[in-house]
Structure 1
């Protein structure tokens, strides 16, 4: 997610330079041909371009609003995940009770285990949403992208559990299953009552909901006709612009056409860059930062000092 108020031009040009070069060459070519051959017969009435510009602006605004809704929904889902993660840590620590000292030591190990596993679930969900998965002949998940790896879960799981989840197509979901089994163990050991068991299980169900809602956004692309036709209309509109001003403005047509095209191009890109908020792009929902916040909160609840460092913005971007 971009946090700087002022966008960096290198980020903007990274996505627009091809189109800018095309529109610049087109404007220069139209001007040169007009000077050399007089293109008065090919000029387009200004009113026609103005009508097209108005329609295109409405269409791009509609696209951008709907793309932003997807981004904001993703942020709200992960905001709820933060809230319920804190509730999970509090419930595990306060709703489970032991009978004697020896039992108390076993309970503390259980509490640490399920809280650490939840931290692994959060990081695992982050990796699962951002990664493209591949499976080798043994069914083991192979890492494709280096910046989001299941290796981040090693510190929060036993070696056996870590190797086990790598064989699963949906590691976060499997971690929730293990959490449910440990709740049953705590109930059998008398650490939680039947009511408290149900309360903790309801919180686990909320984590299922958060994962499911995130997967819905991840697996349901923004309607492709919006993306395709917006690019096509911006290209058509930008190609016609130089022919509307060449008669009256002459060489001024070159910078003016480029400026108008840049405005419509950026309107299109704003929507396009927010369509899929879990792709680890500059504009995405910062789920790495949110995951580390959850890890920090849960460790503090256990009075631990090995808190993760706060991620600093990289060139004005938080991931």
Structure 2
């Protein structure tokens, strides 16, 4: 997950306060209750034995340590996978530009049109996957032609549908002998 923070400390404070408003509210309520009981109800001291507190504190530290470690592992795995997608996308684009070569000018023009369509569809897939992983609306119409947009109109998982369309298009190029 990529977080973008404001450069203004005030805006950072407001944003952090907004997302933690429940915890802040709970803290203020309990602190207010503690203040009230100490000042107005004259509660002198509360005796808490040290052993249960130290045992619970140690258990909590171990629990939070494992939880933090697993969160970091998930983040690192996602980072590696996204890096792999970027590298493989770069290689895929270079292969598309390099390998299919037409025998005639007409075939070369048709291959060039196919290349542009496949590369643009791949860009649309990258943006669709990014938006899907972040639960944001997908805006990829600038990369796709009308036919592809029509195929995706009522689909829920746009990224997967784009891969299916892409596979069919690459299969068509294979059958025409453009790629091996």
Shared fold per TM-score greater than 0.5: yes
Task: State which structure, 1 or 2, has the greater radius of gyration over its C-alpha atoms.
Answer: 2
Q: Which is bigger in relative contact order (C-alpha 8 A, separation at least 6)?
A: 1
What value does the CA root-mean-square deviation take over the aligned residues?
Answer: 2.6
Question: What is the aligned partner in structure 1 of residue 99 from structure 2?
Answer: 95
Matched, 1:172 2:159: yes
Provide the aligned length of Structure 1 versus Structure 2: 176
Alpha-carbon offset, residue 192 of structure 1: 1.8
Instruction: Give the C-alpha shift of residue 105 in structure 1.
Output: 1.0
Query: Out of 183, 201, 214, which is 2:170 matched to?
Result: 183
SS at match of 2:156: coil
Structure 1: state its 5+ residue gaps: 132-146, 194-319
Indicate if the aligned counterparts of 1:121 and 1:172 stay in contact, CA closer than 8 A: yes
TM-score computed with the length of structure 2 as normaliser:
0.82
Q: Which residue of structure 2 lines up, in the alignment, with residue 2 of structure 1?
A: 3
Equivalent position to 1:27, from 31, 34, 42: 31
**Separation (CA, whole Å) in 2 of partners of 1:31 and 1:169:** 53
Task: Tell me which moved more, 84-93 or 49-58.
Answer: 49-58
Cα distance in 1 for partners of 2:103, 2:49 equals 87
Distance 1:67 1:179, change over 3 A: same
1:75 match: 79
Mapping of 1:207-218 within 5 angstroms? none
Tell me, in whole angstroms, the C-alpha distance in 1 between the residues paired with 2:94 and 2:48: 68
Q: TM-score, normalised by structure 1?
A: 0.49
> Does the 8 A contact of 1:123 with 1:153 survive in 2?
yes
Query: Any conservation in 2 of the 1:96–1:192 contact (CA below 8 Å)?
Result: yes
Where in structure 2 are there 5+ consecutive unaligned residues? Answer: none
Over 3 Å counting, the alpha-carbon distance change for 1:129 and 1:112 in structure 2 is same
Structure 1 residues 43 and 35: CA distance shift in structure 2, 3 A: farther
Shift of 1:176: 1.6
Structure 1 Cα separation of the partners of residues 151 and 34 of structure 2: 64
